[in-house]
Structure formats: structure tokens, C-alpha cells
Amino acid sequence: MGLKIYIDGTFYEKEQAKISVFDHGLLYGDGVFEGIRSYNSLIFKCREHIDRLYESAHTIKLKIPLTKEQMTRALVRTLQANKLANAYIRLVVTRGVGDLGLDPRKCPQATVIIIASQIVLYPERLYKEGLKIITVPTVRNLAEALNPQIKSLNYLNNVLAKIEAVHAGFEEAIMLNAQGYVAECTGDNIFIIKQGCLYTPPQSVGALRGITRDTVLGLAKKARIPAREAMLTRHEVFNSDEAFLTGTAAEVIPVVEVDSRGIGSGAIGPLTKRLMSAFRAATKTEGERYTV
């Protein structure tokens, strides 16, 4: 069975799934998106992802032609059409078809696209051995210029950083902000553990408030692991006892080396393992249930 793509209420085979070359999502990266996971016929943190999508759209004055309930049903229909119990879902809303000018008023109707497929961001062995990452020169966008809480289709800042990581032979990289503080990685949030306390950069330094990030903070609270947001430099990262990354596609993945400095013992730490296990358990219970 071929992949079926949802575009504005209709399903198309992958080869026939097309949008206009005049769509402002293509021309200008003008739109918003969410990456969502389903596990065993449960859309993990579905409400949180849908809420964030509509918040991003509201901030850029993009009117989504579906209610939140209709959007959730469209997600479920897409998973069912592809007979997927476990999937990575890319939900995209573009400004829609306009002309070659910037003016969003020329785009009368937003375009809604839903793709449900599979994703393997990192090899399985790295969840057992841990990631080695670097810091790249590309600086995180200024929050005053493009707020990181808007999950926009303009991801060139992250793509440029990813290019630098790949060119250097690494899977992932840390991005600093203009003041030299750790913001996030090219596609993931970052956490460190020092003396039993969990730390992650605040939104104000240019970090996205990730759904998986917030899930881990909630799991830490339940496990009575002290956790807080903190301004981090590379010095704090280098001298942490443990480190890991979080993201919808990445889930929770340990980090054992940053810029050739070993993290802690150089092996995956006990609190990281504990949180990885707690996250896997959470994916079985928290979300929107559906049938295939």
C-alpha cells in the first residue's frame, strides 16, 4: 500500500501529493508545523501539539480553516488511511496560495497537509552508547527577530547548523545564542545533570519549549529529581555529570561527549537511564487513542 497524504481534506498517493508553486509556505517558509508521534495507536501528547500549532498560527496571524477537534480527527484519519499504529506525523499549515509578493493578504486560504510515515533520527546503538556532539559557529536566531516558540516553516537557521555538524562528522550540534549561552541543538532540546539536579536552558535564550522537554521536566518532578531552567555556557555542559537531548523524533537520547570533552564518566548516567525509561512508559498512556 502506498503512502497516503492528507491535503485540505483529501487523501492523495505520495506521487500525486502536490501543492502550488505559488504557495507561500514554499516561496517564503510562511507557515507553521508540528512533529508528532504515535505509539501503539496512541497519538502522544496530541492536545499539547495541537495547542502549540494553533498558538504558532495565532502569533503569525494565520487562520487555520479547521477547529482543533477537526484537526485531531484529520490526524486520526491520516493514521487510519495508512494503517499505522506507530508513526511520525508531520502536520503542516502554510499561508496558502498567493502571488510572488510577500503580502499575506494575497493568500485567502491556508493549506493543511498531514503526512504520517516512519522516522529514525538516530541509529538504535546511539541510545545504548550515547551521542558525541559538537558546538557549531551558526548562532541561534535572536528571539526578538524570530521567536523560537513559533514552529515556523523557516528552519534555515537550524539547517545551516546541521550542515556544519554533518560536515564535521557529527549527528547533532549545540547552537549558542548571540550572548554565548547554550540555546538548543539543531533539532533537539538539551539537558544536563549536575550533582543530582536537572538543568535545561530557558526559552529566553532561544530554546523552543519542546513538548518532549516539558514531558521530561514533568517526569523529573514525579521522580523527585530537582529540575530547573538555567542559563548554561559550554563550561557547565563540559563539566556536567550527565547530559541528554529531547525531541519528538529523538525522544530521549543520551550525550557522552561534547566538543571532545567526555561528559561525566563517559557512559550513560543513572538519572538519564531512569528518565529514558520513564519517558518510554509515558508514551503508552498520555495522548489520543485511535484504532487502525
Q: How far apart are CA 244 and CA 166, in angstroms?
A: 19
How is residue 147 written as a grid cell?
521567536
Q: Which residues contact 221 (CB under 8 A, 6 or more apart)?
A: 227
Nearest 5°: phi and psi at 226? -55, 135
Q: Which residues contact 283 (CB under 8 A, 6 or more apart)?
A: 37, 39, 42, 44
Element (H, E) at 164: helix 156-167
Q: Side-chain half-sphere of 27: how many Cα atoms within 13 Å?
A: 17
Radius of gyration of the chain (CA): 19
| Cβ contact 255:245 at 8 Å | yes
| Cβ contact 264:242 at 8 Å | yes
Other CB atoms within a 10 A radius of the CB of residue 270 amount to 12
Residues identified as active-site? 151
How is residue 160 written as a grid cell?
545551516
Residue among 8, 29, 18, 19 nearest 102 (CA): 29
